[in-house]
Amino acid sequence: MITQLTHDIARLSRRGWLAAAAGLVLGLASSPFSPAKAADDTIKVGVLHSLSGTMAISETTLKDTILFLIDEQNKKGGVLGKKLEAVVVDPASNWPLFAEKARELITKDKVAVVFGCWTSVSRKSVLPVFKELNNILFYPVQYEGEESERNVFYTGAAPNQQAIPAVDYLMKDEKVKRWVLAGTDYVYPRTTNKILEAYLKSKGVKQEDIMINYTPFGHSDWQTIVADIKKFGSAGKKTAVVSTINGDANVPFYKELGNQGIKATDIPVVAFSVGEEELAGIDTKPLVGHLAAWNYFESIKTPANEKFIKDWQAYTKNPKRVTNDPMEAYYIGFNMWVKAVEKVKSTDPDKVIDALPGIEAPNLTGGVSKMLPNHHITKPVFIGEIKGNGQFDVVWKTPGLVAGDAWSKELEGSRDLIGDWVGKKCGNWNTKTNKCGGQGS
């Protein structure tokens, strides 16, 4: 038996491996980036995004965004008189590989800062590396909150900058009384739905008027769930779906909604993970009126946004290339980092981390975002309705900027916590006991 196996492996190294290895090499070589070259007169910026595997669909755009922002900055003369140089690695949608690649970026390539991660699990995977090697991570995606780390700056939305305002809008403007919380089965939807459930109950919504539903990643057969939603919605009360469905599963979900004839005027769906990029793969005519809550929409008309879109399309040489919310989060985050570096005249992580809170940078929707002591930023919240052309039409926005809460006020146990890296030097300061520590890390 064993000899057979060794024999197999021996033969494997001859032909099978050749074919398989050739496959891998070809696969990687076709990614459009070249390895970093060592140069002392540049500041290195790490880019940690999956360029292959399931998450490539979302993360490739963010890699391009950072390269674009670096290119723009270099045209303006770089930072501290030095050019910026991107070091791109591909963690291939593999969570442990994120940690390895992060270590490689910091120790081998000696980057000054890393822009990266999409899923929460990849962020959690690289956290220990950033703490141990003391570097900076900018994280651009909306997430579930309940975290504030010294080495991480969160420029995407916390739940109170996306989910809660969206639910408020539906309650006030659409008079929604019954709620379906539908999500993909992982940490972001589960935490967000826990927060939303607590929030809805605090507003007097009864348990029987809330339906919670989870589906696996990449779920493609939505018939049963859409029929359930239809049934749940026929109880004589206005019903809405709050969707934290992630990634690829959205397209079949929306197709099934359209085919089963659920219109936005009957049961509106408000989504937290569907932006311009995701809609680019669907015929949006049957979806007109369904909603999304974001801090940025491509359709918002401001001079800064128009210039950004024009430059982006010129940079990617694609006049149809869309922009989305995480891209804006990078725009803000990148500019904040540049300002902080210029303020302390150094790229030393400790100095930059201390300088970042309080730094202000304009966002693309006409306001100025500010980095807060809890390492989250202030952002406006917009509700957009899907239009027939794949864009969103803003129907509502918060009157001013909303400060991101690292710890949700709706959840037992996190209510009393705050993140404050300026005064308290602590990510989970308990305001009741006045001690650092408590839940979370």
Pick out residues in 272-331 that bind another protein (CB under 8 A): 277-278, 280-283, 286, 288-289, 291
Q: Specify the residue, 259 or 433, whose C-beta has the smaller distance to another protein.
A: 259
Distance CA 360, CA 367 (A): 10
* Contact call for residue 214 and another protein (CB under 8 A): yes
Q: Which of residues 40-99 bind another protein (CB under 8 A)?
A: 51-54, 56-57, 60-61
Token pair belonging to 121: 């699990």
* Contact call for residue 230 and another protein (CB under 8 A): yes
* Beta carbon of residue 308, minimum distance to another protein (angstroms, whole number): 19
Label the pairing between strands 42-48 and 83-89: parallel
- Candidates 102-110, 160-168, 221-229, 354-362 — which segment interacts with another protein by CB under 8 A? 221-229
Could you give phi then psi for residue 386, rounded to 5 degrees? -65, 135
* Contact call for residue 193 and another protein (CB under 8 A): no
Q: Specify the residue, 90 or 405, whose C-beta has the smaller distance to another protein.
A: 90
Q: Which of residues 170-189 bind another protein (CB under 8 A)?
A: 173-174, 185
With 0-12 / 13-18 / 19 or more C-beta atoms within 10 angstroms meaning exposed / middle / buried, residue 173 is: exposed
Q: Specify the residue, 216 or 413, whose C-beta has the smaller distance to another protein.
A: 216
Of the residues 1, 2, 10, 15, which one makes contact with another protein according to CB under 8 A = 15
Of the residues 77, 128, 358, 388, which one makes contact with another protein according to CB under 8 A = 388
Contacts of 191 (CB under 8 A, 6+ apart): 144, 145, 146, 159
* Beta carbon of residue 44, minimum distance to another protein (angstroms, whole number): 25
* Contact call for residue 121 and another protein (CB under 8 A): no
* Contact call for residue 32 and another protein (CB under 8 A): yes
> ∠388-286-386 over CA atoms, to 5°?
45
Of the residues 1, 2, 24, 38, which one makes contact with another protein according to CB under 8 A = 24
Q: Specify the residue, 224 or 433, whose C-beta has the smaller distance to another protein.
A: 224
Taking the CB of residue 202, how many other CB atoms lie within 10 A of it?
A: 10
* Beta carbon of residue 176, minimum distance to another protein (angstroms, whole number): 11
Distance CA 302, CA 242 (A): 29
Distance CA 127, CA 122 (A): 9
E-assigned strand segments in 267-323? 269-271, 291-294
Label the pairing between strands 137-139 and 152-154: parallel
Is residue 413 within 8 A of residue 439, CB to CB? The reply is yes
